[in-house]
Amino acid sequence: MTELGRNARHNISFILNGESVSGSAEPRMLLTDFLNYELGLTGNHVGCEHGVCGACTLLIDGNPERGCLTFAVQVDGRDVKTVESIAGREGNLNDLQLAFRKHHALQCGYCTPGILMSLTAYLEDTPDPSEEELRDMLSGHICRCTGYVGMVNAVMDVVEQRKAKA
Amino acid sequence: MADQADTKSFVGQPVERVEDGILLTGRARFSDHQPTVTGTLHAAMLRSPHAHAEIVSIDKSRALALPGVSAVLTGQDLTEMASAFLIVIKQPMQHYSLAVGKARYVGEPVAVVVATDRYIAEDALDLIDVEYRVLEVVVDPQAATVSGAPVLYEEVGDNVVSTREFSYGDPDKAFAEADKIVSLTAPYPRNSQTPMEGFVVNADYSPDTDSYDVASNYQGPFTSHPVMALALGVPSSRLRMRVPAFSGGGFGVKVQIFPYVVLMCLCSKVAGHPVKWVEDRLEHLSAAAAAPNRVTEIEAAVKSDGTVTAFRFDQLDDYGAYLRAPMPGPLYRMHGTLTGAYYIKNLAVRNRVVMTNKCPSGMIRGFGGPQMYFAIERLMHRVAVELGLDPLELIKKNLVPAGSFPYRAAAGALFDSGDYQTAVEKAVNEGGLDELKNRRDAARADGKLYGIGYSVVVEPAQSNMGYLSNILPAEERRKNPKGGAVSNATVNVDPLGTVSVTADSLPQGQGHATVLSQIVADELGLTPADVSVNMELDTQKDAWSIATGNYSARFSSSTTVAAHKAAVKVRDKVARIASATLNVPADRLEFADGKIFAADNPENSLKFYRVAGSAHWTPGSLPDEMDPGIRETGTWSPPQLEPPNDEDQINTSLTYGFVFDYCGVEIDPDTGQVHVDKYITMHDSGKLLNPMLADGQVYGAFSWAIGCALFEEFAYGDDGSFLSGTFADYLCPTAPEVPRPQILHIETPTTFTPLGAKGIGEGNVMSTPACLANAVCDALDIKTVSLPMSPSKISALIQAEEKPPPAGAARQPDAAPSEGGRVIKGSGETTVPAPPDEVWRTLLDPDKLAAVIPGCHSLDKVGDDSYRAEVSLGVGVVRGRFRASVDMSDMDPPNFVRLSGGVQGPLGASKGAGNVRLKAVEGGTFVTYDYEVEISGKVAAVGGRMLEGASRIVIGKFFERLVSQVGGKAPSPTGETLWQHILRAFGIGR
Amino acid sequence: MKPKAFDYLRAASADEAVAGLAKGGDGARILAGGMSLVPILNFRLADPELLIDISQVKDLDYIRVDGNMVQIGASTRQAKVMAWPELAERVPLLSKALPHVGHYQTRSRGTVCGSLAHADPSSEIPLCLATLGGEVVLKSASGERRLGADDFQTGMLSTAKRDDEMVLAARFPVAENGTGYAFDEMAQRRGDFAIVAVAAAVSGSKIRLGVGGVADKPTVAEWGNIAGDELDDALNAFAWDLGGYDDVHAAARYRRELVRRLGRRIIEEARA
């Protein structure tokens, strides 16, 4: 049992994108705010803070989850991955990122990190989705710029590429 | 110009975006991720739960006492520090960043708290005590025009704050001579494209220079910059605006950051630290901006062969509670194009601007076009139906003829170029219209509800800064004629000869950096990768003007031209330097592959970077009279953007593209859902600078148009309560809801710019809602339909009279179904095991009443029959603390009492009334009650789905406790009270 | 949109959680997946004093077959249930309904029991439990009890769970041979709260039709195996009995219409 009182900061540490990080947070601090303001991460974006838009989606112990519906203290001792985990430090994009660029799957790019994190988890479980299944999964994200066309094209392209490699 | 551009040109190619790498890795810094100064404070705003209320008093003492709070400002404080914002029309309508005197819409900022972090700032909001006197509300624009309607601005005395009439050609004659007059009312709803990133402002006041440094994801137009500077009382040069390179979508909305910029500036001045504010989603949906809802009465004068000879418009545009600059832009930005894509020479227009108790309107993608084309294209569909003509034949008959460009439309738009007939023909063939008609016929033969719709749109781009002056009569305009639109871009070459570009277009995802790199690369013989583009803007360092910004499809025919001009200047300068070394006249040099060479002898060449760098390293060797260094700014204002003439004609935009859409829809007869079966959209946007990005704009506009047509509306209750405060209530379409349109292009370059490009980002927002509505009307054979075409609404159009309830059923049809109305009505009855006298005494005894009111913390009798209480109310996990007032009237002891009053707290406000009747029966008192409540504020905005049920539970609890207070705790076998059992039987819960 | 301050307790067991509830009184709330609770907290529509996080309680993360019931523990996520290979065979109705519950990204966190405890009148999982006549296991420091679905959910966001109790598990009856199951809902967008959700269990002798989104809790009608006009009349009477309400998305009449039409559609589907 762990009891943490309000109005006090509590130490938390966890694995973020493969590296151990720590800091302190009040119980009520949202994980999104912790990543942004305490750790200075730039990849996790907040779009609605009520779990609908999906911009803040990240992986906790490998599961795609809403950062805005998670308290920072909840990830103590766990594994968190954000979009920064996908590409190497040098900026070498992975196949999904390259396909997003090739198919113009992003415009303002604000919703994109959350979508990439969803897709990272989804394509592991569902390596060969139909377009309808893919669109169903994407319904957990709102993109206002693209109409989703480039995004769907990019993912179907990656699916084919990965099938060809396998 | 580069002669070899045809073979080496990047312009016109689907070049991948230079922006994407940093966006895809998450390293792009959006506004909320910009570094802040240590000690930066954070703001949060208290917002009105009432749509119209006098602010009687604001007590901020409890909030100021909270540790961590630096300052609390109210509207009254602002009037002492700042001036009201300038507005476009001459009316006494004062607007500050916070409500002054009264609040005019739900969500209006009433006070701002500055604290060490956002969490504490929001804690403090709950400690500000505001006393409101609730006023009558007007929500509907037509109701607002009626005499006797509640008035938002007593100083004006009328909600219609501007009326203008226009006439072009001879509309009266055309209507008099018409074979047929077809008319239609076309209401357009209130909506917004709601960017995923909300507003962000970080303001820092310097007392040393009395200046403000602001970083914000503002999108222009910088016509608002002087508005902000004047409000703050500083010269514009002391209001430094810095806009980061990356913005999470704008769609016009982010113009309306400006009142918050001023507010944060003032907060910083008071607090003595930089102050940052990040708008949250509830704030955005309730208070950022919405496209004005418009009621258009439109008529066409028609000849029996289908020739339309005149349009008559009556446009009533609803600007909500405040007329923030540049409003009423949407009513005037399309003015020149009021005859659409048609050859119609007679036009009559009445424009009215009306104020209502809703969120202020703003520029939203389409910027007046969706409202206008919904009226025109719905009307043209009706004309075809009423004349028994094919809708497409009617459209074709009336299109502006090929070969007549540049074409001056009736109200003054100068259509630069086009070939509408070819575009339509090509779309019909390549999109497969014949096949679509076969699908329709087959579907109908199967008994399905299937329809086809069409629409045509002339899509304007790059606004004439003078378009709003048409709101003034010609004699007033003459004193200060306004027209033109300035754009700026700078190409810089550094000492190592590498090229960088800055520009004034403030992109929000459109890929401007990529396009500018293509243009400059082409001109200088480089590749886009050789050109660094920095899209940040800093008003103290960069070239800007009032037109600066990202709106009205401005970029492709403005900033691109400025960048092109700057690149040509650089090229000319570099060519002159190279000319001396290569011993070839400058005009015979070519630029390609990073080299400069003689056109007739490519071996005679120099590296671009060496020549360009020499302007820094060896200025002494430069040709005569040449300035050292290379930094060239292109500045441009197209001559065609003239002020309105004395006949009220105005060329509202520079370029005019063409869009032709058609679609097939099928409607599910059980659910009323509209399924888009096929959608074809043909665009002539002139030269496509980057076809991939152009298609991206079409897909994006189409996607939002699907939202406008089928899903999205900012809903308000009759009491002005805002009901769309979450993304679960304001329905942005997601991937399964957006079909994939088939995009087609022809390219008729504009002759008014050197690059030939027109706008493309707004067309489908104008064409698609009308096209889909026409298809739905075709499928259902109905005259009108309003947007959004929700399943519930469509179902009501399809279905016959509802099957009645079985005889003797408890529930009977509602007398008046109240869709959208948010007055919650209910009634109930029970038997209380005590005589009426005792029940009556309980109701009148403050101590006993306190025990009856659910969650009552304290209750004071403040008058003979008036009470004030502190109560906690809620349902399930949802719970909040409120201040309640209850008045009793019409008392007839111990038979009848009327209770009226309201509650108010951080969760919102409610007012209502109820009647309680007591009647002695055997074993106690038979109590019947009925009530009506209106609920407003946050709980209505985010919990609309639950309000009715929740109200029943709260009111049920009151009577449950009344029973127990008078001793009625009859145990039942399940351990619940008899009262609970009765309530459950009525489905009211416990 | 930031939550008010609260104390936080991460429970390692159900016993720790109910001890916390006993201490926290009516100011304590269980946090499982948080997909409903945390938005409410972010909007400041609730002000619990203490959140008791059970999401990491391993002992409550299970799906087990217990006789003719499938029992699902309190911290078991919807995604896990959906991925359970036996689900379609054991509880086909839940298998058909779960894809409609929120989104991929919320099912990965949201729990079956949390949805029951939240008692949203439009939610799919409470509707399935009610239609199948399942149970909820409640636990407090003083013991456990079971309530049938109908007794558990008492109204909008309201249940018979006492403040000192947590939902320990949900129990769904295993599919009966000869009974067909079907589920459908009308939501404007994929994953939205249903305007109307319908669930049917149809055998040779009876029809059970559950409806969510119309009354303030999921409501089940049971008829003999009627058809044709008789079924239409029964559906009509049921629709009127449920009443429905107007909101910004749908009129009461529309809700009743969907009860009649979708109800008929899925009864036929379940029968097939």
| Across B943-948, average pLDDT | 77
State the CB neighbour count (10 A cutoff) for residue B833.
17
Task: Flag if A45 and B197 touch (Cβ within 8 Å).
Answer: yes
| Across B782-792, average pLDDT | 97
Residue B342, helix vs strand vs coil: strand
Per-residue pLDDT tens over the stretch B550-572: 999 999 999 999 999 999 999 99
Task: Flag if B23 and A109 touch (Cβ within 8 Å).
Answer: yes
Mark which residues 62-101 of C lie under 8 Å from B by CB: none
Predicted confidence (pLDDT) at residue B989 exceeds the cutoff of 80: no
Contacts of A49 (CB under 8 A, 6+ apart): A30, A32, A68, B280, B281, C1, C39, C42
- Pairing state between β B211-216 and B200-206: antiparallel
Q: Which residue of C has its CA nearest to A58?
A: C105
* Distance of residue A64 Cα from the nearest chain C Cα, in angstroms: 6
> Of B567, B692, B688, B572, whose CA–CA distance to B627 is shortest?
B572
- pLDDT band at residue A119 using 50, 70 and 90 as cut-offs: very high
- pLDDT band at residue B975 using 50, 70 and 90 as cut-offs: very low
Q: At what angle do helices B258-271 and B224-232 cross, to 10 degrees?
A: 30
Per-residue pLDDT tens over the stretch C48-60: 999 999 999 999 9
Task: Flag if B26 and A107 touch (Cβ within 8 Å).
Answer: no
Confirm if B247 and B902 have CB atoms less than 8 A apart: no
- What amino acid is encoded at B720 in this protein? G
Whether residue C31 lies within 8 A of chain B, CB to CB, comes out as no
Backbone torsions φ then ψ of B556, nearest 5 degrees: -70, -20
Kind and range of the H or E run holding C79:
helix C78-83
pLDDT at B135: 97
Interface test with C, best of B714, B794, B811 (most C CBs within 10 A): B811
- What amino acid is encoded at B647 in this protein? E
Q: Which residues of A touch C102 (CB under 8 A)?
A: 140
| Across B124-153, average pLDDT | 97
Confirm if B933 and B951 have CB atoms less than 8 A apart: yes
Q: Give me C158's structure tokens.
A: 């309201």
As a whole number of angstroms, the distance between CA A36 and CA A47 comes to 13
Q: Which residues of B touch A44 (CB under 8 A)?
A: 26
Q: Which residues of B touch C157 (CB under 8 A)?
A: 875-878, 946, 950
As a whole number of angstroms, the distance between CA A103 and CA A114 comes to 18
As a whole number of angstroms, the distance between CA B298 and CA A82 comes to 53
Q: Give me A16's structure tokens.
A: 């973020």
Q: Give me B676's structure tokens.
A: 């888009």
Name the residue among A5, A51, A141 with its Cβ closest to that of C35.
Answer: A51
Per-residue pLDDT tens over the stretch B720-776: 999 999 999 999 999 999 999 999 999 999 999 999 999 999 999 999 999 999 999
- pLDDT band at residue B812 using 50, 70 and 90 as cut-offs: low
Q: Which residue of C has its CA nearest to B736?
A: C190
Burial class (CB in 10 A: 0-12, 13-18, 19+), B754: middle
Q: How many CA atoms lie within 13 A of B383 on its CB side?
A: 33
Q: Which residues of A touch C106 (CB under 8 A)?
A: 51, 66, 140
Query: Which residue in this structure is represented by tokens 């003078």?
Result: B466
Radius of gyration over alpha carbons of chain C, in Å? Answer: 18
Q: Which residue of C has its CA nearest to A75?
A: C56
Q: Which residue of A has its CA nearest to B32?
A: A36
Hey, which residues does C172 pair with through a beta bridge?
Answer: C70
> Of A152, A162, A159, A55, whose CA–CA distance to A104 is shortest?
A152
As a whole number of angstroms, the distance between CA B847 and CA B867 comes to 11
Q: What is the DSSP letter of B683?
A: E
Q: Which residues of B touch A53 (CB under 8 A)?
A: 196, 281, 727
* Distance of residue C40 Cα from the nearest chain B Cα, in angstroms: 7
Per-residue pLDDT tens over the stretch C90-116: 999 999 999 999 999 999 999 999 999
> Of B934, B918, B937, whose CA–CA distance to B926 is shortest?
B918
Task: Flag if A101 and B740 touch (Cβ within 8 Å).
Answer: no
Predicted confidence (pLDDT) at residue C147 exceeds the cutoff of 90: yes
C164 backbone φψ class: left, alpha, beta (φ>0; ψ -120 to 50): alpha
Kind and range of the H or E run holding A156:
helix A149-165
Per-residue pLDDT tens over the stretch B868-919: 999 888 888 888 888 989 899 999 999 999 989 888 998 898 888 889 999 9
- Return the ∠ at Cα A60 (arms to A54 and A62), rounded to 5°: 100
Contacts of A120 (CB under 8 A, 6+ apart): A59, A64, A81, A86, A96
As a whole number of angstroms, the distance between CA C145 and CA C129 comes to 17
State the CB neighbour count (10 A cutoff) for residue B206.
13
Task: Flag if A27 and C6 touch (Cβ within 8 Å).
Answer: yes
Q: Poorest-confidence range of A20-29, A66-75, B465-474, C128-137?
A: B465-474
| Across B503-531, average pLDDT | 97
Predicted confidence (pLDDT) at residue B810 exceeds the cutoff of 80: no
As a whole number of angstroms, the distance between CA A11 and CA C105 comes to 28
Name the residue among A50, A106, A138 with its Cβ closest to that of B23.
Answer: A106
Task: Flag if A83 and B728 touch (Cβ within 8 Å).
Answer: no
Confirm if A4 and C8 have CB atoms less than 8 A apart: yes
Task: Flag if A118 and C104 touch (Cβ within 8 Å).
Answer: yes
Confirm if B258 and B221 have CB atoms less than 8 A apart: no
Predicted confidence (pLDDT) at residue B600 exceeds the cutoff of 90: yes
User: CA B506, B507, B513, B515 torsion: positive or negative?
Assistant: negative
Burial class (CB in 10 A: 0-12, 13-18, 19+), A128: exposed
Confirm if B319 and B354 have CB atoms less than 8 A apart: yes
pLDDT at B288: 98
State the CB neighbour count (10 A cutoff) for residue B437.
12
Hey, which residues does B293 pair with through a beta bridge?
Answer: B318
Q: Give me B754's structure tokens.
A: 């050197």
Name the residue among C16, C34, C79 with its Cβ closest to that of A69.
Answer: C34
Kind and range of the H or E run holding B204:
strand B200-206
Contacts of B710 (CB under 8 A, 6+ apart): B674, B733, B737, B772, B788, B789, B790
Query: Which residue in this structure is represented by tokens 């009037």?
Result: B79
pLDDT at B822: 62
- Pairing state between β B346-354 and B308-318: parallel
Interface test with B, best of A44, A108, A117, A141 (most B CBs within 10 A): A108
> Of B708, B714, B769, whose CA–CA distance to B321 is shortest?
B714
Q: Which residues of C touch A118 (CB under 8 A)?
A: 104-105
pTM reported for the whole predicted model: 0.95
User: CA B548, B551, B555, B561 torsion: positive or negative?
Assistant: negative
> Of B199, B321, B264, whose CA–CA distance to B40 is shortest?
B264
Chains that touch B (3 or more CB pairs under 8 A): A, C
Per-residue pLDDT tens over the stretch B294-340: 999 999 999 999 999 999 999 999 999 999 999 999 999 999 999 99
Task: Flag if B728 and A52 touch (Cβ within 8 Å).
Answer: yes
Q: Which residue of B has its CA nearest to C122?
A: B945
> Of B403, B378, B383, B386, whose CA–CA distance to B394 is shortest?
B383
Predicted confidence (pLDDT) at residue B371 exceeds the cutoff of 90: yes
Task: Flag if B20 and A109 touch (Cβ within 8 Å).
Answer: yes
pLDDT at A10: 98
**Omega prior to B326 cis, within 30 of 0:** yes
| Across C69-91, average pLDDT | 98
Residue B760, helix vs strand vs coil: coil
Residue bearing the bigger pLDDT, B6 or B533: B533
Query: Which residue in this structure is represented by tokens 């600059």?
Result: B325
Kind and range of the H or E run holding B16:
none
pLDDT at B968: 55
Q: What percent of chain B has pLDDT over 90?
A: 82
As a whole number of angstroms, the distance between CA B180 and CA B650 comes to 29
Name the residue among B249, B692, B726 with its Cβ closest to that of A110.
Answer: B249
Whether residue C157 lies within 8 A of chain B, CB to CB, comes out as yes
Interface A–B counts its CB contacts (< 8 A) at: 171
Q: Poorest-confidence range of A34-43, B445-454, B830-839?
A: B830-839
| Across C139-143, average pLDDT | 97
Q: Give me A7's structure tokens.
A: 């109005």
Hey, which residues does B278 pair with through a beta bridge?
Answer: B200
* Distance of residue A112 Cα from the nearest chain B Cα, in angstroms: 7
* Distance of residue B234 Cα from the nearest chain A Cα, in angstroms: 32
Burial class (CB in 10 A: 0-12, 13-18, 19+), B308: buried
Q: Which residues of B touch C236 (CB under 8 A)?
A: 803, 805-806
- 3-state helix, strand and coil shares in percent for chain B, rounded to the nearest 5: 30, 30, 40
As a whole number of angstroms, the distance between CA B381 and CA B394 comes to 8
User: CA C80, C83, C86, C92 torsion: positive or negative?
Assistant: positive
Interface B–C counts its CB contacts (< 8 A) at: 175
Predicted confidence (pLDDT) at residue B960 exceeds the cutoff of 80: no
Whether residue C104 lies within 8 A of chain B, CB to CB, comes out as no
Q: What percent of chain C has pLDDT over 90?
A: 96
As a whole number of angstroms, the distance between CA B655 and CA B770 comes to 22
Q: Which residues of A touch C39 (CB under 8 A)?
A: 49-51, 69
- Pairing state between β C69-73 and C50-53: unpaired
Name the residue among B795, B805, B877 with its Cβ closest to that of C46.
Answer: B877
Average pLDDT taken over every residue of chain A? 97
> Of B103, B92, B223, B84, whose CA–CA distance to B161 is shortest?
B92
> Of B799, B739, B730, whose CA–CA distance to B772 is shortest?
B739
Average pLDDT taken over every residue of chain B? 93
Q: Give me A150's structure tokens.
A: 């480039």
Q: Quote the strand ranges of chain C, DSSP E.
A: 7-10, 28-31, 50-53, 63-66, 69-73, 135-140, 143-148, 153-155, 158-159, 166-173, 180-186, 196-202, 206-212, 219-224
Per-residue pLDDT tens over the stretch B258-275: 999 999 999 999 999 999
Whether residue A49 lies within 8 A of chain C, CB to CB, comes out as yes
Backbone torsions φ then ψ of B117, nearest 5 degrees: -150, 170
Confirm if B547 and B526 have CB atoms less than 8 A apart: no
